[in-house]
């Protein structure tokens, strides 16, 4: 019921909880952005020797794709940080929905890589952990975003009912 769910986020208000989810999501996005935009060498270390050599040969990968991916993460982090500070519950719910779709697409992409590699970890990665760790992080992030989205739904409902009581 609504009361038992509220006990999970007490003494925080729903809006504060959702803001915290967005804030911690922003931190994660900034860290990923740093790894691929500011310090692409860090991202290249996740590849096997042959995979790394293939990417380093391609100027498109090292000069465009990695920095672009990193910039995307930084922009996502900035949106989440702004959302945590300035957005009302309705806008926060929409942002959490978008972030949930983004992490779900990452999980789907990794699943497609897994299938393409014959249902095993792609050989161009340095280790199996380089494949499984991002998936675990994306699943955890998706779960947190969905919980935040549910709580945001309660916050939106509270906002609507308080407006209705005033009129």
Spatial contact of 90 and 156, defined as CB atoms under 8 Å apart: yes
Model pLDDT, residue 11 = 46
Model pLDDT, residue 4 = 55
pTM of the model: 0.78
Phi, psi of 57 (to 5 degrees): -65, -35
Spatial contact of 71 and 38, defined as CB atoms under 8 Å apart: no
pLDDT means per 10 residues, the chain with 167 residues, are: 53 80 92 83 80 78 80 93 92 92 90 90 86 89 90 86 81
Using alpha carbons only, give the angle 44, 132, 71 rounded to the nearest 5 degrees. 45
Residue 149 in tokens? 């989205």
């Amino acid at each position: 019921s609504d009361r038992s769910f509220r006990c999970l986020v007490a003494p925080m208000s729903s809006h504060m909880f959702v803001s915290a989810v967005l804030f911690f999501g922003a931190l994660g996005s900034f860290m990923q952005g740093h790894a691929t935009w500011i310090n692409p060498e860090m991202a290249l270390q996740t590849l096997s020797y042959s995979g790394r050599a293939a990417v380093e040969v391609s100027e498109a990968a090292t000069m465009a794709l990695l920095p672009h991916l990193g910039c995307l993460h930084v922009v996502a982090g900035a949106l989440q940080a702004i959302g945590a500070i300035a957005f009302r519950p309705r806008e926060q719910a929409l942002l959490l929905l978008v972030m949930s779709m983004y992490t779900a697409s990452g999980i789907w992409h990794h699943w497609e890589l897994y299938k393409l590699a014959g249902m095993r970890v792609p050989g161009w990665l340095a280790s199996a952990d380089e494949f499984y760790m991002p998936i675990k992080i994306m699943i955890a992030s998706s779960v947190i975003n969905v919980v935040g989205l549910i709580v945001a739904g309660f916050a939106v409902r509270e906002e609507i009912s308080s407006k209705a009581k005033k009129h």
